[in-house]
Amino acid sequence: MAAPLFLLAPPRSYTSLMNAMIGQHPQTFGLPELCLFNVETLIQLWTRTSDEIENFSKTRQGLLRAVAEIYGGEQTTATIKMANHWCFARQHRSTAEVYQELVRDIDPLIAVEKSPSYTISLKRMQAIYRAFPDARFLHLVRHPVATCKSIMALNDGAFAMYVNSIDFLEDRAIVDPQFAWHDLNTNIFNFLQMVPPEQQIRVRGEDIMHDPTHFLGEVCRWLGIRDDAEAIDAMMHPERSPFACFGPITALFGNDPNFLRGPAFRAHKVKVPPLDKPLAWRPDGKGLDPRVIELAHEFGYR
């Protein structure tokens, strides 16, 4: 059974694009966000009530779309209905068992998935590693300022509030996603200390945007899959993924809606902002926390 590949990154770190690009390689299968390791048993994706955001039906739409495509060959209201029955029949199984079944049925293709919510908890990433001790992990990083701007532009920074990324001052509290950027990347960093070096790689999203052929080739060679021109060209077309669009009305999402609206890749040189300037989302004119700057330096940002 081919070991799966998991992309680990906070939200708004090019994860949707990278997952679809790698998933278009002839030897891989790019999945939507399954969110399976957010819970322990499959039924919890339907009954979980402790986290309002995670309980929203969008959380399970990626799984339904994946099951519909894998076993039904298409995503329609009829195959989504079949996928619901498939999940109902496995509702009391562990999510690890369900995921292992999907990977077996995709084999020999390599399953590729990113669910940014995995990075919220070290426990979730450890559950992935227990289920797949031979899994590969790609740590995808993006400049903290660019990531935070993107987070704040999405639902007024709802994700930052969800993970309590808030700066509590004496007279007020300011939603500031830089702390989420730091903490989630630190979670990933700490988790990867448990993983053998040959099973992990770190890639900066800006590098992929600027020189995709070179860096996608590096990822292919690390995975031990083809890196010829035909394979790389396939990866340059994420829009061809069956999940790079909105699904049927009963399972519309399973990925970032912004990506679903425009999934095509356009190579470009990303302007990297400075690390020492006031932050646009802070009304008090403060800049990045020293801990954020230190971690950004670790990732090669200056």
87 plus 168 within the same structural domain: no
161 plus 88 within the same structural domain: no
131 plus 155 within the same structural domain: no
pLDDT at 52 (0 to 100): 45
pLDDT at 54 (0 to 100): 46
Which tokens hold the place of 223?
A: 């995975």
The predicted model scores a pTM of 0.95
Separation of alpha carbons 155 and 129, rounded Å: 32
185 plus 231 within the same structural domain: no
Structural domains counted in the chain: 2
123 plus 248 within the same structural domain: yes
159 within some domain: yes
Are 259 and 116 spatial neighbours (Cβ–Cβ below 8 Å)?
no
Dihedral-angle region of residue 163 (phi above 0 means left; psi in -120 to 50 means alpha; beta otherwise): alpha
pLDDT at 164 (0 to 100): 85
For residue 261, the enclosing domain spans 5-140+206-269
68 plus 147 within the same structural domain: no
**Residue 95: CATH number of its domain:** 3.40.50.300
135 plus 77 within the same structural domain: yes
Are 89 and 97 spatial neighbours (Cβ–Cβ below 8 Å)?
no
164 within some domain: yes
97 plus 191 within the same structural domain: no
pLDDT at 49 (0 to 100): 53
78 plus 214 within the same structural domain: yes
258 plus 123 within the same structural domain: yes
241 within some domain: yes
92 plus 218 within the same structural domain: yes
45 plus 156 within the same structural domain: no
pLDDT along the chain (302 residues), means of 10: 96 96 98 96 80 59 98 98 98 98 98 96 97 98 96 84 86 91 97 98 97 97 98 98 97 94 94 94 94 97 94
